[in-house]
A and B are shown apart, each in its own frame.
Chain A
Amino acid sequence: MALTSSNGSSVIDRVAEGRLSPAQALRWLSESAGGKGSQGPATPAPTGTPASDEPSGGRDLEALAQVMAELDALVGLDRVKQAVRELRAYVEIRQRRAAVGLACEPLVLHMAFKGNPGTGKTTVARLVGRMLKALGVLPKGHTVEVERADLVGEFVGHTAQRTREQIRKAIGGVLFVDEAYSLARGGEKDFGREAVDALVKAMEDHRHELVVIVAGYDQEMELFLNLNPGLRSRIPFIIDFPDYTTEELLAIATEMLRARDYRLTPEARERLASALLYHRVGGWYPFGNARLVRNLLEAAIRRQAVRLQGAGAYSREELMLLRAEDIPLDEAGA
């Protein structure tokens, strides 16, 4: 796709440059065997007057503002938010450049989300889908979440078919492949490879109408990205999801409880903090992050119910309050 020398540019480029009429170009194309010119539309930037200053496509500013507000409302995730804002800026500037006829590379937005479970990957993927719709890049912006079991089949040929089916559902939006590295396990004969190949093909064929987001643990994702040489080169955006700090996990807990009309006593809050620390220091693997918080709280709510029933205390205040003894130290509720 050289855009330098005049004799190196293809017939198509010469039409864009105004050195060949469409009729002449077609004649040349049908005379050259196979009628196939060099790939890729013209890239040199004609310095013409801008057609209009509005970016192409249907942008929905209201929806965009809504999505960005939801993103900002997420606890922590500062680097991730920054990355999503960069993505938005990239798309918008590209649209403005295209509107004035400047050279633009094709827009490829496949992404890899690396991080432990419960670090917000799925939540952010959904927001990214909606954001890309609001920007007019994707027609629907919905998110289809799949994992190995949804893609891999039971016999030869079954996998490609199942994978294509999921891809078809996702077209127009985001295909979110959770724990993508599990497609790589099982070695050479595993059907996971077939799924990866089908994914790579779809990433190319449907790049205008589908964004594929592969997600998983940091190190395993590296292995996964190295699995198929086409994979890494087709995934320009890699976003790291760091583990939440204990303070952030406590903020998440407060948020979850507020939504359910519960409150923590200061002692309960302290005990929750030590439960979270216990998991972190204990090196439990996989460390559950926000999911761990949810499980701990659900166990606490069950324990509170048993305690209240035993004590026969049903005041509004008591019904809302989670005390230190309600907080379990691990997810099993012990």
Chain B
Amino acid sequence: MSSAPLDATADACVVGRPGVGKTLFVLRFAQWCGQRRLLMRQEAPGSSGGWVEVDLATAVDRLVGTQTPTTRALQHVEVPWRQGKRTLHLRLLDTVGLTDTIHPDPLLRRAMAETLTAVMESLVVLHVLDGPRIAQRPGRLLDEDDVDVQIGRYGERRGRYAVLVNKLDRPGGRAGLEAVRRAWPHRIVLGISALEGWGFASVRRFLQRRL
């Protein structure tokens, strides 16, 4: 189990369905925290991958996409994080989108398995939801077979968990946020727009209290 060491790296795992904006959130949030270039580590399924240095503008172009799943392997972004007098290396783990059903691609399944391991081992879990899509079908938040419902239940049990409802800038985003708050009244639910940078300050406050 992870405990919070005095100095060292702390992992915050960003999970959710494919296409909810996990990668864009990770990159934009790192940028907002003052990172201009970043070291990224892509984990090919089953391996320990390799490190590449990229600048944020290129990273967004290269890594964020509309066809899902864009992210096919785990990625890390490190953000130096001032916490009182010490500097903590916050490692944001960008994961592969989790699905309700068994995926036909064995490599993706493998990557999803690694995502689950990362969720279990991370200090903090940030669960990203797509606001407008929730607004279209809020009933999903009560469906036992829905992956978000299961992530939520697991997160609530483990603690150090927050729900980020993304895409507030789009029509239906706010309605989605309200729906999530109604369905999950006992969880920390924050509204964000990864595209516009809305709500990053509250995410930061949440992390600061948990690290």
A-side residues, CB < 8 A to B, are 11-13, 15-27, 29-30, 35-37, 40-43, 46-48, 51, 55-59, 94-95, 97-99, 101-104, 106-107, 133, 135-139, 164, 168, 172, 205-206, 208-209
Contact status B106-A29, CB under 8 Å:
no
- Whether A101 pairs with B45 at a CB distance below 8 angstroms is yes
CB-based nearest B residue for A16:
B113
Contact (Cβ within 8 A) B110 A23: no
Residue of A48, A55, A168, A206 ringed by the most chain B CB atoms within 10 A: A48
A56 touches B44 (CB 8 A): yes
- List 5 A-B pairs, minimum CB-CB distance, nearest first: A57-B50, A136-B50, A98-B47, A46-B106, A58-B52
B residues in contact with A51, CB < 8 Å: 44, 72, 107
Q: A12-B117, A106-B48 given; name 19 further pairs at CB < 8 Å.
A: A16-B110, A18-B102, A18-B104, A21-B102, A23-B146, A25-B116, A29-B120, A42-B110, A42-B113, A46-B110, A57-B52, A58-B51, A59-B50, A95-B44, A97-B47, A99-B44, A101-B107, A102-B46, A164-B7
Assess the B154–A137 pair: CB atoms within 8 A. no
**In the complex, which range does the number of interface residues on chain B fall in?**
35 or more
With A12-B116, A15-B109 in contact, is A35–B46 under 8 Å at CB? no
- With an 8 A cutoff between CB atoms, is B101 at the interface? yes
B residues near A138, Cβ cutoff 8 Å:
51
Q: Report the Cα distance A251→B157, complex, angstroms.
A: 67
Least distance between B63 CB and chain A CB atoms (Å): 14
Determine the chain A residues whose CB is within 8 A of the CB of B101 once the complex forms: 21, 23
A10 CB, nearest partner CB in chain B, Å: 9
B100 within 8 A of A: yes
Please, could you name 28 A-B residue pairs with CB atoms under 8 Å apart, sorted by A? A13-B113, A15-B112, A16-B113, A18-B102, A20-B102, A21-B147, A22-B112, A22-B116, A22-B147, A22-B150, A23-B98, A23-B150, A25-B116, A27-B144, A27-B153, A29-B116, A29-B154, A30-B150, A35-B157, A42-B113, A48-B106, A56-B44, A58-B51, A98-B44, A101-B46, A101-B110, A104-B47, A208-B48
Distance between Cα atoms of A15 and B9 in the complex (Å): 28
A23–B151 alpha-carbon span in the complex (Å): 7
Across-interface contacts of A16 in B (CB, < 8 A): 106, 109-110, 112-113
Interface flag for B42 (CB, 8 Å): yes
* Residue among B50, B105, B149 with most chain A CB within 10 A: B50
Asked if B56 CB lies within 8 Å of chain A CBs, one says: no
Contact indicator A41/B117 (Cβ below 8 Å): yes
Query: B150 and A36: CB pair below 8 A?
Result: no
Is A21's CB under 8 angstroms from B107's CB? Answer: no
Total A-B residue contacts, Cβ distance less than 8 Å: 162
B39 within 8 A of A: yes
Contact A22 B49, beta carbon cutoff 8 Å: no
B82 within 8 A of A: no
A146 to B21 alpha-carbon distance, docked (Å): 43
Complex alpha-carbon distance, A27 and B72, angstroms: 23
CB-CB < 8 A to A37: which residues of B? Answer: 116, 120
CB closest chain-A residue, reference B100: A23
Query: Could you tell me the distance between the alpha carbons of A115 and B43 in the complex, rounded to whole angstroms?
Result: 36
When the two chains form their complex, are residues A46 and B7 in contact, meaning their CB atoms are under 8 A apart?
no
CA distance A15 to B109 in the complex (A): 6
Is residue B174 within 8 Å, beta carbon to beta carbon, of the partner chain? no
Does chain A have a CB within 8 A of B178?
Answer: no
Cα of A106 to Cα of B101 in the assembled complex, Å: 28
**Residues 25-50 (chain B) with a chain A CB within 8 angstroms:** 39, 41-50
Q: Given A21-B99, A139-B41, answer yes or no on A98-B46 (Cβ-Cβ < 8 Å).
A: yes
Closest to A207 in B: B48
Q: Which residue of the partner chain, among A18, A59, A95, A106, contacts B109 with CB atoms under 8 Å?
A: A18
Closest B residue to A91 by CB, please name it: B50
* Closest beta carbon of chain B to A208's beta carbon, Å: 5
